Amino acid sequence: MTHPSEICEIAIKKFENLPKTGKPTQDEWTILAAVILYDKSANSLKVVSLGTGTKSLPKTKYCKNGLILNDSHAEVIAKRAFQKYLFSELRKDDGIFTFNQETVQFEVKEDLSFHFYTSHVPCGDACIIPEKDESYSEEPVIRQNAQDIGAVRLKPGKGIRTLSMSCSDKLAKWNVLGVQGSLLSSLISKPIILESINLSCDFEHEAIERAIWKRFNSQEFDVSHPLIRKGFELEIDFEFCFDKDKNPCPNTIAWADVQERPLQVSVNGKRLGVGKKQFYNKKSSLDICKRLLFENYLDFVGSNHLFLKKFGLTRDELFAMKYEDVKNLSKSYQKTWKDLKIKYFKMWVEKDFCFKEFSSIYENKP
């Protein structure tokens, strides 16, 4: 069994032990989220990915080659850093996966489970408390219809609007499709789900449950029901919690339990300290942006003849494919996602198609 307080504490400690760069100043607040691995046989916990952040970009700043991170909310950063961790584990002999030669699929070892930590109630539906009809969080939430609980919402943003969906909506999606995303789905036997969501702040249990799984009909979709738990009597607190008298920290920290570049700090969806000239350059992108996760996938599958054979592709054919077409190699993932959108997420904003058309051989132009 895992204990919520232990999960909260190990995530906060991990954050505290990271270098200062990218952390909030005393006048700033942020959100911290993390994915924690629990090994039942060893009864041990380990943070495998972590993210901080509160910002999402306006749609005018999007990059059609997938080099900029549109959504830098902590929950999304932690999830994308988790994918970076998964790609690194696929390459290990003693990692979290075993390989099934018959099905040509990776399987997560039996004793392992994944747990989520966040320092704040996820933005969107989980912040809406119906009885009182008020927003739980004091952050601005774009509410097309505040009474409409269980509704899909865009992330808050000042000025030009963002196309990023709220973290409540994304967590809900992950509870059906898994946190591994579409690319990794084509390589693993089943979705990787979160067994529990652990929070170090106060929250309305019912609102989070509704936001992240109760709004789905379990008969139609295979929905996971993560335990929603509060860490209490914590030995350490997250010191940069939301404070209405402070400013949101513009920086994002993305950390993953990997050998190469475990830690990357960003602002406005690009690595910190990048000049304007380099803005649309791969070198200034985060490993967890769409494009670089895509290249990570191509690099792995392109050198694995079993998967190439399974997909009926040569290495060159794979490398010439567009992002969207490669994502479609995960047929059941794409089918479920399509059904889910029709049924529950009609409002889910589809990025203009040009934001998904890039391939690894395209020029690095904005």
Q: What positions carry a catalytic annotation?
A: 75
Beta strands at 128-129 and 134-135: parallel, antiparallel or unpaired? antiparallel
- The reply on whether position 127 binds Zn ion by CB under 5 A is no
Q: To 5 degrees, how large is the angle CA 104–CA 290–CA 62?
A: 160
208 binds Zn ion (CB under 5 A): no
Four-CA torsion 173, 174, 175, 176, nearest 10 degrees: 60
For residues 62 and 70, the answer to whether their CB atoms sit within 8 Å is yes
Closer by beta carbon to Zn ion, 42 or else 347: 347
- Binding region for Zn ion (CB under 5 A) out of 165-173, 179-187, 194-202, 305-313: 165-173
CA–CA dist 192, 181 (Å, integer): 9
- Rg of the chain over Cα atoms, rounded to whole angstroms, equals 20
Which segment (120-128, 191-199, 208-216, 348-356) binds Zn ion by CB under 5 A? 120-128
Sole window of 70-78, 156-164, 188-196, 251-259 interacting with Zn ion (rule: CB under 5 A): 70-78
Task: Compare residues 149 and 274 and give the one whose CB is closer to Zn ion.
Answer: 149
Binding segment (CB under 5 A) for Zn ion, from list 162-170, 185-193, 212-220, 347-355: 162-170
Residue 359 CB, nearest approach to Zn ion (Å): 30
**Pairing, β 134-135 against β 194-199:** unpaired
Q: Which is nearer to Zn ion, 279 or 345 (CB)?
A: 345
Return d(Cα 38, Cα 35) in angstroms, integer. Answer: 10
Shortest CB 98 distance to Zn ion, Å: 34
Per rule CB under 5 A, count of chain residues that contact Zn ion = 3
Instruction: Give start and end residues of each alpha helix (H) in the chain.
Output: 4-16, 74-90, 167-177, 181-185, 205-209, 290-302, 305-311, 315-320, 323-327, 331-343
CB of 294 to Zn ion, least distance (A): 23
- Minimum distance, C-beta of residue 166 to Zn ion, in the bound complex (Å): 6
Between residues 76 and 298, which has the closer beta carbon with respect to Zn ion? Answer: 76
Tell me the β-bridge partners of 270. 267
User: Exactly one of 78, 90, 108, 123 binds Zn ion (CB under 5 A); which one?
Assistant: 123
**With respect to Zn ion, which residue has the nearer C-beta, 29 or 97?**
29
**Closest-approach residue to Zn ion (CB):** 167
What are the start-end ranges of the E strands in the chain? 28-29, 32-39, 44-52, 54-56, 71-73, 97-100, 105-108, 112-118, 128-129, 134-135, 194-199, 227-230, 247-248, 251-256, 263-267, 270-271
Give 77 or 298: the residue with its C-beta nearer to Zn ion.
Answer: 77
> Does residue 199 interact with Zn ion by CB under 5 A?
no
Q: In the bound complex, what is the minimum distance in angstroms from residue 313's beta carbon to Zn ion?
A: 36
In the list 73, 84, 215, 271, the residue contacting Zn ion (rule: CB under 5 A) is: 73
172 binds Zn ion (CB under 5 A): no
Sign of CA dihedral 110, 111, 112, 115: positive
Asked if 319 contacts 298 with a C-beta cutoff of 8 angstroms, the reply is: yes
Told to check if 55 binds Zn ion by CB under 5 A, we report: no
State how beta strands 28-29 and 247-248 pair: parallel
Q: Does 167 bind Zn ion (CB under 5 A)?
A: yes
Euclidean distance between CA atoms 69 and 9, whole angstroms: 28
Tell me the window of 42-50, 98-106, 115-123, 139-147 that interacts with Zn ion (CB under 5 A).
115-123
Smallest distance, Å, CB 167 to Zn ion?
3
- Single-letter code of the amino acid located at 2: T
- Is position 290 an interface residue for Zn ion (rule: CB under 5 A)? no
Binding interface with Zn ion (CB under 5 A): 73, 123, 167
